[in-house]
């Protein structure tokens, strides 16, 4: 593999791979081959004199192929194998580039602040106790941080359509990419109707007389409207939703400190009262293992920022900041708020018992405020939970539509599923996801819990499999770089944990899978049950069947792509190493001129 620059605007073939020159444009919006098609769309929309309505109609027409792209760049060259074809198609995706730095940072901060934190933490507290809750979340958060660092390195280097889905295809092997991609798609496909049902249940806190399906319809229309606005609409909506969630969590932390110190209406000093009685642990080691699983699931969606790489205006500048923001979200919004919860709510509180994962009444945040005697605030907390639920529903459409579009680009889904219109929207994928969201109308049925339990079971372990694929993809990418005598100096962003961080996160994620197997086989406080086991572990046979099915269909039994055959150039940004090194040197020099506190801030932010 060459390490030198190609002539401007040309393709150079080295061995069996194609290396594209990204130096032909140094603009903010076009620093790699996924050039923004907004200019094409704008040109199309302004043709003629049809006005706004004409432009609106034209926006749904197929995106126009950028001039100058060859069949090789579009991935239609028959001389390419499946992996090479997938790499070129994703590198030249027609998705719109409208996500700004502020969008990415708020998506990174708020993408997984939802029912997992606000409601699921109550079940975890009841199962593991306050000490078990914090131990599990601290350990899992270190793994999530290491995973996000590895994902950041890959996403900044390869800001291509599909993100981690494509990385598994390129750096591990296609069957893994197929299995991970479809399981991730199913995870968020089911999540949309689940969140719509959760929203309708949350509304019952204020009104229990109206039919739940009325609220499902209202929220479904809201999500449909937002997602049809395109990636800019999603970014703005998520920015507002995340900002509200962040303010709410910060406000809760401040209020909790006041209550713990005896500043509430009763002026009772709480301190470590609930750590002494009923105690720090609820079910011993087994309880802590159960909380590990809950904590891992609560962080689901953290990796979604990796999907935004192909739609961000300047991935080299904005993605590192968004990835680093994950550290602060983990430390502040999860660990600090859960520490407050552990001090304000006893793990044996009856309101935590037997609650479903979508029941806002069982939220330890609500219970903490109620215990503190603060009137009116429980309604505010419930309103924030409602916003968080809608935010996750909105994000689920984004995740499923981009995953399906990527699978179609790779030839792993029907070609029509990858339809992108002139506004840069994966239109068919968005509509399919929203249509499935109508499944939420079973909210008024007494079978809703059982139906959702089995739907979630199909992809219940998807987040763990996705993180494992990210960890291993990063490990294989670094292995390929070493084998091909390439240096990390050519990377615009380097994982702070390095390859060892990915090995650590990979090991931790496998241990969580083992813990889930143990808890599923021998549930806490119950006898072994095949029904409960498959609810907890159906995700594993599902992904294995997906992997095997692709192997049988493709008849490719290669278990892993060898390091010498891994393409580490297609889809790269800033292939001009001289320009890249100059930019990085200027950034380091600017940081070095700042004060110590600012330098520390820049390291982590």
Report the candidate in 310, 23, 364 with the shortest Cα–Cα distance to residue 162. 310
Mean pLDDT score, 380-398:
84
The percentage of residues in the chain with a pLDDT greater than 70, rounded to a whole number, is 79
CA 600 to chain centre: 27
Q: Is the pLDDT of residue 131 over 90?
A: yes
DSSP codes, 131-152: HHHHHHHHHHHHHHHHHHHHHH
pLDDT in tens, 169-228: 999 999 999 999 998 888 888 888 888 887 887 787 776 677 778 888 888 999 888 888
Report the candidate in 249, 225, 220, 252 with the shortest Cα–Cα distance to residue 236. 225
Q: Are 408 and 201 in contact (CB under 8 A)?
A: no
Highest mean pLDDT pick, 16-25, 170-179, 586-595 = 170-179
Mean pLDDT score, 492-499:
89
CA 601 to chain centre: 24
The dihedral of CA 555, 559, 562, 565: what is its sign?
Answer: positive
- What's the CA gap between 338 and 592, in Å, rounded? 36
- What are the domain boundaries of the chain? 11-574
Q: Which has the minimum average pLDDT: 120-129, 231-240, 320-329, 530-539?
A: 320-329
Highest mean pLDDT pick, 50-54, 159-163, 474-478 = 474-478
- Mean pLDDT score of the chain: 78
Mean pLDDT score, 102-122:
74
CA 221 to chain centre: 23
Dihedral Cα 364, 369, 370, 372, nearest 10 deg: 120
Q: Are 184 and 303 in contact (CB under 8 A)?
A: no
Quote the pTM value: 0.83
Highest mean pLDDT pick, 55-64, 79-88, 246-255 = 246-255
The pLDDT-based confidence of 66 (bands split at 50, 70, 90) is low
Q: Are 226 and 234 in contact (CB under 8 A)?
A: yes
Q: Is the pLDDT of residue 310 over 80?
A: no
Q: Which has the minimum average pLDDT: 99-113, 559-573, 578-592?
A: 99-113
| Main-chain dihedrals φ then ψ at residue 313, nearest 5 degrees | -65, -40
Q: Are 404 and 93 in contact (CB under 8 A)?
A: no
pLDDT of 86 reads 66
The residue with greater pLDDT, 360 or 458, is: 458
60 CB-near residues (< 8 Å, 6+ apart) = 421, 422, 423, 427
The residue with greater pLDDT, 54 or 420, is: 420
Q: Are 23 and 33 in contact (CB under 8 A)?
A: no
Q: Is 9 left (phi over 0), alpha (psi -120 to 50) or beta?
A: left
- What's the CA gap between 185 and 458, in Å, rounded? 11
The residue with greater pLDDT, 133 or 328, is: 133
| Main-chain dihedrals φ then ψ at residue 20, nearest 5 degrees | -100, 140
Q: Are 132 and 71 in contact (CB under 8 A)?
A: no
The residue with greater pLDDT, 452 or 262, is: 262
Report the candidate in 203, 220, 198, 204 with the shortest Cα–Cα distance to residue 119. 198
Q: Which residue has the tokens 């086989």?
A: 521
Mean pLDDT score, 429-458:
76
pLDDT of 35 reads 39
pLDDT of 574 reads 60
Q: Which has the minimum average pLDDT: 230-244, 346-360, 410-424, 574-588?
A: 346-360
Regarding the domain with residue range 11-574, which homologous superfamily does it belong to in the CATH classification? Amino acid/polyamine transporter I (1.20.1740.10)
């Amino acid at each position: 593999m060459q390490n030198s620059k190609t002539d401007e605007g040309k393709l150079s073939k080295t061995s069996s791979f194609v290396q594209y020159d990204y130096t032909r444009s140094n603009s903010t919006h076009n620093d790699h081959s996924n050039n923004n098609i907004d200019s094409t769309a704008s040109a199309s929309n302004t043709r003629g004199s049809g006005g706004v309505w004409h432009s609106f109609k034209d926006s749904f027409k197929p995106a126009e192929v950028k001039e100058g792209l060859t069949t090789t760049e579009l991935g239609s060259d028959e001389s390419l194998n499946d992996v090479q074809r997938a790499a070129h198609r994703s590198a030249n995706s027609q998705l719109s580039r409208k996500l700004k730095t502020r969008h990415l940072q708020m998506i990174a901060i708020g993408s997984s602040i939802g029912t997992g934190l606000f409601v699921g933490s109550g079940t975890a507290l009841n199962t593991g106790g306050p000490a078990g809750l914090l131990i599990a979340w601290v350990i899992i958060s270190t793994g999530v941080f290491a995973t996000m660092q590895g994902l950041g390195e890959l996403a900044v280097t390869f800001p291509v359509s599909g993100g981690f889905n494509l990385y598994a295809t390129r750096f591990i092997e296609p069957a893994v990419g197929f299995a991970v991609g479809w399981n991730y798609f199913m995870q968020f496909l089911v999540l949309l109707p689940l969140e719509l049902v959760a929203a309708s249940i949350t509304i019952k806190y204020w009104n229990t007389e109206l039919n739940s399906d009325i609220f499902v319809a209202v929220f479904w229309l809201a999500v449909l409207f937002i997602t049809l606005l395109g990636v800019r609409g999603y970014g703005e909506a998520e920015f507002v939703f995340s900002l509200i969630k962040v303010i709410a969590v910060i406000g809760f932390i401040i209020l909790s400190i006041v209550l713990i110190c005896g500043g509430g209406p009763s002026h009772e000093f709480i301190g470590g009262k609930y750590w002494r009685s009923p105690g720090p642990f609820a079910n011993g080691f087994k309880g802590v293992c159960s909380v590990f699983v809950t904590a891992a699931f609560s962080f689901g969606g953290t990796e979604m920022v990796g999907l935004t790489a192909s739609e961000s205006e300047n991935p080299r500048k904005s993605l590192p900041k968004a990835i680093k923001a994950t550290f602060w979200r983990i430390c502040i919004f999860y660990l600090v708020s859960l520490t407050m919860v552990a001090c304000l709510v006893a793990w044996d509180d009856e309101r935590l018992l037997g609650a479903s994962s979508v029941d806002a009444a069982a939220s330890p945040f609500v219970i903490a405020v109620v215990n503190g005697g603060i009137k009116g605030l429980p309604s505010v907390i419930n309103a924030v939970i409602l916003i968080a639920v809608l935010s996750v529903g909105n994000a689920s459409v984004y995740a499923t539509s981009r995953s399906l579009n990527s699978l179609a680009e790779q030839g792993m889904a029907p070609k029509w599923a990858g339809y992108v219109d002139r506004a840069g929207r994966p239109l068919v994928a968005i509509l399919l996801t929203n249509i499935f969201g109508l499944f939420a109308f079973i909210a008024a049925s007494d079978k809703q819990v059982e139906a959702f339990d089995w739907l979630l079971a199909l992809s219940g372990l998807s987040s763990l499999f996705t993180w494992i694929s990210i960890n291993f993809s990063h490990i294989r990418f670094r292995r390929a770089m070493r084998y091909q005598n390439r240096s990390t100096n050519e990377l615009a962003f380097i994982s702070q944990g390095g390859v060892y961080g990915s090995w650590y996160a990979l090991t931790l994620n496998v241990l969580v899978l083992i813990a889930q197997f143990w808890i599923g086989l021998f549930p806490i406080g119950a006898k072994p049950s095949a029904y409960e086991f498959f609810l907890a572990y159906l995700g594993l046979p599902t992904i294995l069947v997906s992997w095997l099915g692709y192997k049988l269909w493709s008849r490719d039994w290669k278990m892993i792509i060898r390091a010498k055959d891994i393409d580490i150039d297609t889809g790269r940004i800033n292939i001009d190493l001289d320009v890249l090194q100059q930019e990085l040197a200027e950034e380091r020099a600017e940081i070095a001129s700042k004060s110590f506190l600012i330098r520390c801030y820049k390291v982590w932010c």
